[in-house]
A and B are shown apart, each in its own frame.
Chain A
Amino acid sequence: MKRKHYAALVVGAGIAGIRSALDLAESGLKVALIDRRPNIGGVLAQLDHQFPTDACGMCKMLPLTSRDSSSQFCMRKGLFHKNIDILLHTELAALEGDPGKFRASLRQRSTFVDATRCISCGECARVCPVHVPNEFDSGLSTRGAIYLPVPHAIPNHYVVDLDRCTRCWSCFEACPTDAIDFKYAERKDFRVVAALPDAAARTDLGAWLADQNFPLVLAEDGAAALRALEEERTALLLLDLAVADVDPEKVMRRGLELYPDLDVILVAGPGDQDRAEALIQAGARQWLARPLERTVVRWLDHHYIRTVSDVTHELEVGAVVLACGFDCYDPAQAGQLWGRGVVPGVVTALEFERMCSGTGPTGGRLVRPDGRPARNLAWLQCVGSRDPARGADYCSGICCMFAIKEARLARQADPEAQATIFAMDVRTYGKDFQRYRDEAESRDGVRFVRTRIHSIEPDPEADGVPITWMDDDGTLRREVFDLAVLATGARPPEGSDRLAEAAGIALDANGFAAAPPLQPARTSRLGVYAAGAFNEPRDIAESVIQAGAAALNAARTFKVHSPPREEQAAPAPEYRDVTREAPRMLVVLCDSCPTLRTRVDMPSLAARLGGLSSVVRVECVQGACSAPGWQAVGALAEELRPNRILIGACMPYAYVPRLRELGAQIGLDPAFMDVADIYTPTFPGTATPGTALETEVYTALAMAAVKLAGAEPSPVLGRLPVTPRALVVGGGLAGMTAAMALADMGHDVCLSEKAPRLGGMAAAHHTLLGGGDPRRVMEDLAEQVMRHPNIKVFTQSRIMLSMGRAGRFMTALATAEGPAITVEHGATIIATGGREVVPDSYGYRVHKTVLRQSELEARLADGSLDTGALGGVAMIQCVESREEPRNYCSRVCCAAALKNALTLKERNRDLPVYVFYRDIMSYGFSERFYTEARGRGVLFIRYSPADKPRVSFGQDHRPTIAAFDPVLGRELRVTVDLLALSVGLEPGDNEDLAEVFSLPTGPDGFFREAESKWRPVEFLRQGIFVCGVAHSPRNMSETIASAEAAAQKAARILAHKDVVGGRVTAQVRHSLCSLCGRCVSACAYGARRIDLERGRVEIDELLCQGCGSCAAVCPNSAGVLTGFKDEQVLSVIDAALAEPTQPTEATP
């Protein structure tokens, strides 16, 4: 088999896999994207709402430059990119070879529905007698054995769930296009030889298989079986080990000798099962229990169809990205603990999400199981998380936020809804999460109860879900809720152990991919990377960042290790100029499917179309989607040389790449071609009768025809040469990581650092939670950066001025040594970091007994602190943090506190350590250290922001901390020798830089990314990227991931000779423009501005995404969209309206 070559294989087409694939594809690399599911999108296919917008927004990930390479519609529906090949229902079976030239075997399971024939009419599902829970609705609705995995994909084909299929053939008979293929006819080529010494068994088997269409030879002994095998080619040998005359092994060996791909299936009883196992080692496929039951028919059917339908793909790939995401913990694993199955109204968060969805089983209404509206709702946090007893000594990191989101959604869906979230800690550690939570509490009245609900006990008396918990003050409370939502945590995805084996990587103790410290995208195998949540549970934004980091590593591996390959770059197609020609349109109608042919009078339709002024020829073609059909279209085009081509067929999206090819073939810009959907109106159930149907089909075609007739060639705008150099601002961990990544990929990098030496904040770390030597890492990194031939470092430099746009910026740097220098660069990475807050509270800077965590860490590291002599240490978390004006979590302070507390306990086991905290943010795998700190006797005392700890100092400066302990219900006072303050991070001097680069900053002074979830390291302004603490507080590992993600985004630009915008962009007819500015306000992409000097509205073609909002708000068509002229639109409306159903005269 010829191996197809790809730069990378991405396993898992969830959000992280898609992001990685797009990142690679956009930098010009070929990617194979596979998923074991029959659809892309992962868990997000099921989710309609994402915080903070409470909407979806996944499409924001689509490429903004070179837009024509990719589909531009809802990504939950589908994704097409010219550099991405998607294989669904496919798993990685084996990965051999070395980085740069891995050999990957993929196993693709058949869906048994021919995608080229299925028209998604749904007739098959209507007749399927099977009803099983529908995974898409989390089991809240049912589906058949033939079903649509997701309701919204494009193209959307039915698939057969073979395990559930009863093979009643109803769907096969109902399918109007013969798309369902159970390989019935081909069975005659699947010869079965059954060697069964027992006569009754032979009789039974003969009878059972009588109408199964398999050629069956029944052999009564080994000799007969051997004869039968030699007689004719055989596909399957059913061999009972009880055959006595010839050693069964001999029969088997002979069979395999004759036909190497023969399936040998043994039949064994209790006595010879060991033998059977042994023979499987020798080449048998499997064994069945003697005596054979009638179920063998079904088994054979499934075995046969899998054998003949499933396919194996062999690829050569440069690198592999594993993005298999996570599975939600299944609360049923704990039996009835959470009332699953016994208490109605207990749902998982995913089920609740489906209920909130307009396309979900309840149409977006929140209802109790008895149909009454669900108003009183409870969320139970940490179901299957932070629960070592259930194998999860980690925090899933995402559930607190999705519970809050769902609580807010509930409130939106029903203003009377009351939401209660039961949680131990509310982990709002991400950017802007704290405010989101505060808003949920203050605006939406979400109630947070600090407890962990252990279980839900059924109570037949209760009108709903009874929940009992212990309040802080020790009273047992009970409340009955309409719905209880289990915030089920993240678990390694099903089959991850198999995948790990296939990919040759190690898993960690939790079952996720093991990552080396400070190499967040790496796995244990060189060249194989982990994206998204596959090596630690992560939310969308962090998954997207992680995906970018994995993509970067994959691209770097490909670049470094792949043998150079002569890629014959396809020349840019040459299109002839047809603008001056009168429209000559070829109309091709696909009439292969009977739904159209039998309902519409095709000659009459052709005749009516022929009457349109621009149409020169109307032809019918059999199966335009099939290879011969498409050749016929090509031949017609060659013959006629039309300057417009309209195709009437089904599923227009599927034709996009074909039109591109046809365009190149006949030299016609694909903008002059279109495909109109003429099949949807003909589907069973939707069809209107007779002439009305014909008119509907005609109208669809006529509309497309007049639109095409008025089409204008729209040259791709905004082609801009790229300066192959990146400017990285900031020489800390983020900046150096990004610089190294880009330099390694062969790009020039200019690194500007304002301090005299590289290192930034991370250089101040002495230890890491979980081990590792950050000093060493930082020193090595700095040295590599300094030595790298592609990197030019400017320390003590400052950015003064910057102009330009993606592909070409000019930036002036002031340096300490001499005059300002100007750097020309194609991409910019902002990595200016931040700094530790200097607090004004708790006696800091007044008493030497009060330190910041970093200072404590330093004193612990340099040995200046005698831990043995200490009588007690206290720590206060969230100092001047997580409340206005610094209302955000800095992520690193809880880890720092745990790190220092553990070090203290390590050195002095009996040293009392008290941590006063609000919520311990030990998200993800760092939860382990929280458990450990508790285990070592560190005392954690929760306080509320309304009642903070009070610190007083004695004569000897020893601090006494007094705080209300909610568990004890009284004030607690401790006197200690040292007080360490966890102060959090604040942004550096971002405002100046924001001014220079025209970048937005958020309410806390961190840079405001383009979109918090989908474009976390980008700015709305193209070509400038952000990473590290400049974006938001993050730890070293997260900083590295974001830096690599940002580097990947920059590489995406630098990898090309020029930056290309889209074909459809807005333009301004300046003579008509009144400069009212409505289009400027309406532009969602910031692509328009009023140039006051020139007195006109200017458009940045790279930023313009061709959405048309500007044209819509402009009252006099001064704002126009190429390809969507008013005249065209009016003509289309004309064509759509007022075509009376009258008998058509004969064609003139």
Chain B
Amino acid sequence: MNTATATRYAYYPGCSLTGTASEYDASVRLVLERLGVELAEIPGWTCCGASAAPAVSALLALALPARNLALAERDLPGCDVLAPCSACYLNLLTARQEARRDHRLHARVQEALEGEHLPWANAAPVRHLLDVLANDIGPARIAAAAQRPLAGLVLAPYYGCQTLRPYAAFDDPEHPTSMDAVLRAAGAEVLEWDKGARCCGASLSTTRRQAALPRIAEILRAAAGADAVVTVCPMCQMNLEAFQRQAGLPGPVAVLYLSQVLGLAMGLDPGQVQLGRNLAVPPGFLARLREVPPAPGEVVQATGTG
């Protein structure tokens, strides 16, 4: 685990964040900068294989993410690898964990990477954005940076699957809570619900839409009491925001990335966190956001920063 002094991370945005989830990427970079965290993008990173590689090649499923870990190790030594995308995160983490568990596997992956003369010692820890926010940075620093706390806003923390499972790296994989403190630090209220770790259907929304829709509907219906659902994964974000009508939702439900929420709380305007790219930010949510009082003088005091 990083100590508070290590504020530099090897940043692995992943393909989605360069495409459909560019708003996630933008807001992550902005927010972490404000929190005094340096993100050094892994030079020459490539795709982690997403959910496709394991379904096609067992070796590629590990070698693709391992290649990126090897790059980080070589070019950004000593840094933890930070991934905001849960699918990327899990692929990276799986490569790391499986190679640690099974040294023959490690050797095979090393062999695959040999063509590029890329050594991989498997030294760099893999961290999810949420992990870093909740545990390295911590609610206190977030609260301190939240100049425009989202008082009165009720948010439903949605973790998705691959953030939590199967490794249970930083949270309870059945009943996660790590986002609660982060959202509270942003001044928001947290919706008590039990769908935060439910599956959104993932790529089934592409391959088997009808199978995915009930998942999406179940989650969004349960979020009825919240002003918005907060995600930490582009896949979840896409599923929850793009298929609301097909899933039979009566009205639109706002779905935001966690980094966007934090950005808003830090006083960034919706444009800066690229709220306009979200597929589901109903006007009602924007109105609620405007109700949030502008930063008063005595901002929530940071407590016990230690």
Q: State yes or no: do A and B come from one complex.
A: yes
What is A's interface to B at a CB cutoff of 8 Å?
Answer: 335-337, 455, 457-459
A-chain residues with CB within 8 Å of residue B33 when the two chains form the complex: none
Q: Is the CB of B194 within 8 A of A458?
A: yes
Q: How many residue pairs, one in A and one in B, have C-beta atoms under 8 Å apart?
A: 12
Alpha-carbon separation in the docked complex, A627 to B147 (Å): 75
Q: Is the CB of B172 within 8 A of A457?
A: no
Q: Is the CB of A335 within 8 A of B172?
A: yes
A-chain residues with CB within 8 Å of residue B175 when the two chains form the complex: 335-337
Q: Is the CB of A455 within 8 A of B194?
A: no
A-chain residues with CB within 8 Å of residue B269 when the two chains form the complex: none
Digitize B161-175: 1 where CB-to-A-CB distance is under 8 Å, 0 elsewhere.
Answer: 000000000001011
8 of the cross-chain contacts (CB-CB < 8 Å) are A335-B172, A335-B174, A335-B175, A336-B172, A336-B174, A337-B174, A455-B174, A457-B194
Taking the nearest CB of chain B, how far is it from the CB of A460, in angstroms?
9
Taking the nearest CB of chain B, how far is it from the CB of A710, in angstroms?
70
Instruction: Specify the main secondary structure of chain B where it touches its partner.
Output: loop
Alpha-carbon separation in the docked complex, A457 to B198 (Å): 11
Digitize B153-184: 1 where CB-to-A-CB distance is under 8 Å, 0 elsewhere.
Answer: 00000000000000000001011000000000
The chain B residue with its CB closest to the CB of A343 is B194
Taking the nearest CB of chain B, how far is it from the CB of A419, in angstroms?
27
Give the interface residue-count category, chain B: under 10
Supplied contacts A336-B172, A457-B194, A459-B194, 9 more A-B pairs, CB within 8 Å: A335-B172, A335-B174, A335-B175, A336-B174, A336-B175, A337-B174, A337-B175, A455-B174, A458-B194
Alpha-carbon separation in the docked complex, A644 to B174 (Å): 72
Alpha-carbon separation in the docked complex, A459 to B221 (Å): 13
B-chain residues with CB within 8 Å of residue A459 when the two chains form the complex: 194
Closest 6 CB pairs of A and B: A336-B175, A335-B172, A458-B194, A335-B175, A337-B174, A457-B194
A-chain residues with CB within 8 Å of residue B174 when the two chains form the complex: 335-337, 455
Taking the nearest CB of chain A, how far is it from the CB of B64, in angstroms?
29
The chain B residue with its CB closest to the CB of A454 is B174
Taking the nearest CB of chain A, how far is it from the CB of B194, in angstroms?
5
A-chain residues with CB within 8 Å of residue B172 when the two chains form the complex: 335-336
Alpha-carbon separation in the docked complex, A336 to B192 (Å): 14
Alpha-carbon separation in the docked complex, A66 to B174 (Å): 59
Taking the nearest CB of chain B, how far is it from the CB of A206, in angstroms?
29
B-chain residues with CB within 8 Å of residue A457 when the two chains form the complex: 194
Alpha-carbon separation in the docked complex, A337 to B175 (Å): 8
Taking the nearest CB of chain B, how far is it from the CB of A478, in angstroms?
14
A-chain residues with CB within 8 Å of residue B194 when the two chains form the complex: 457-459
Alpha-carbon separation in the docked complex, A132 to B294 (Å): 45
Alpha-carbon separation in the docked complex, A828 to B194 (Å): 64
Alpha-carbon separation in the docked complex, A457 to B175 (Å): 10
Alpha-carbon separation in the docked complex, A448 to B194 (Å): 29
The chain B residue with its CB closest to the CB of A336 is B175
Taking the nearest CB of chain A, how far is it from the CB of B159, in angstroms?
15
B-chain residues with CB within 8 Å of residue A455 when the two chains form the complex: 174
B-chain residues with CB within 8 Å of residue A336 when the two chains form the complex: 172, 174-175
Alpha-carbon separation in the docked complex, A455 to B174 (Å): 9
Alpha-carbon separation in the docked complex, A1020 to B90 (Å): 66
The chain B residue with its CB closest to the CB of A337 is B174
Alpha-carbon separation in the docked complex, A631 to B101 (Å): 74
Alpha-carbon separation in the docked complex, A455 to B194 (Å): 13
Alpha-carbon separation in the docked complex, A337 to B174 (Å): 7
Alpha-carbon separation in the docked complex, A459 to B194 (Å): 8
B-chain residues with CB within 8 Å of residue A335 when the two chains form the complex: 172, 174-175
Taking the nearest CB of chain A, how far is it from the CB of B206, in angstroms?
25
Alpha-carbon separation in the docked complex, A336 to B193 (Å): 13
Alpha-carbon separation in the docked complex, A458 to B192 (Å): 11
Alpha-carbon separation in the docked complex, A539 to B175 (Å): 34
B-chain residues with CB within 8 Å of residue A337 when the two chains form the complex: 174-175
The chain A residue with its CB closest to the CB of B173 is A335
Alpha-carbon separation in the docked complex, A336 to B172 (Å): 9
Alpha-carbon separation in the docked complex, A457 to B174 (Å): 10
Taking the nearest CB of chain A, how far is it from the CB of B273, in angstroms?
33
Alpha-carbon separation in the docked complex, A337 to B194 (Å): 11
Taking the nearest CB of chain B, how far is it from the CB of A344, in angstroms?
15
Alpha-carbon separation in the docked complex, A455 to B172 (Å): 14
Taking the nearest CB of chain B, how far is it from the CB of A598, in angstroms?
56
Taking the nearest CB of chain A, how far is it from the CB of B283, in angstroms?
29
Alpha-carbon separation in the docked complex, A459 to B175 (Å): 14
Alpha-carbon separation in the docked complex, A219 to B176 (Å): 52
Alpha-carbon separation in the docked complex, A1074 to B294 (Å): 102
The chain A residue with its CB closest to the CB of B172 is A335
Taking the nearest CB of chain A, how far is it from the CB of B13, in angstroms?
32
Taking the nearest CB of chain A, how far is it from the CB of B301, in angstroms?
23
Taking the nearest CB of chain B, how far is it from the CB of A285, in angstroms?
29
Taking the nearest CB of chain A, how far is it from the CB of B279, in angstroms?
29
Alpha-carbon separation in the docked complex, A458 to B197 (Å): 13
Taking the nearest CB of chain B, how far is it from the CB of A388, in angstroms?
15
The chain B residue with its CB closest to the CB of A455 is B174
